[in-house]
Amino acid sequence: MEANENNVIESFKRAKADIVCLWDNVNTAKLKSTEVASRLERIELQQKAIMAQIDNMKPAKQAVVLNKTNMKLHAKNCFFAKNIKPKNRAVYSSAEELRGMRVDRCACMGA
Residues that bind Zn ion (CB under 5 A): 74, 78, 80, 106, 108
The distance of closest approach from Cβ of residue 49 to Zn ion in the complex, given in angstroms and rounded to an integer, is: 36
The residue at minimum Cβ distance from Zn ion is 106
Nearest to Zn ion of 100, 110 (CB atom): 110
Is 89 in a helix, a strand, or coil? strand
Nearest to Zn ion of 41, 104 (CB atom): 104
Nearest to Zn ion of 8, 86 (CB atom): 86
The distance of closest approach from Cβ of residue 63 to Zn ion in the complex, given in angstroms and rounded to an integer, is: 13
Please count the other Cβ atoms lying within 10 Å of the Cβ belonging to residue 4: 8
Q: What is the dihedral of CA 8, 9, 10, 16, to 10 degrees?
A: 110
Q: How far apart are the first and last CA of the chain?
A: 97
Q: Cα 29 from chain centroid?
A: 30
The distance of closest approach from Cβ of residue 98 to Zn ion in the complex, given in angstroms and rounded to an integer, is: 14
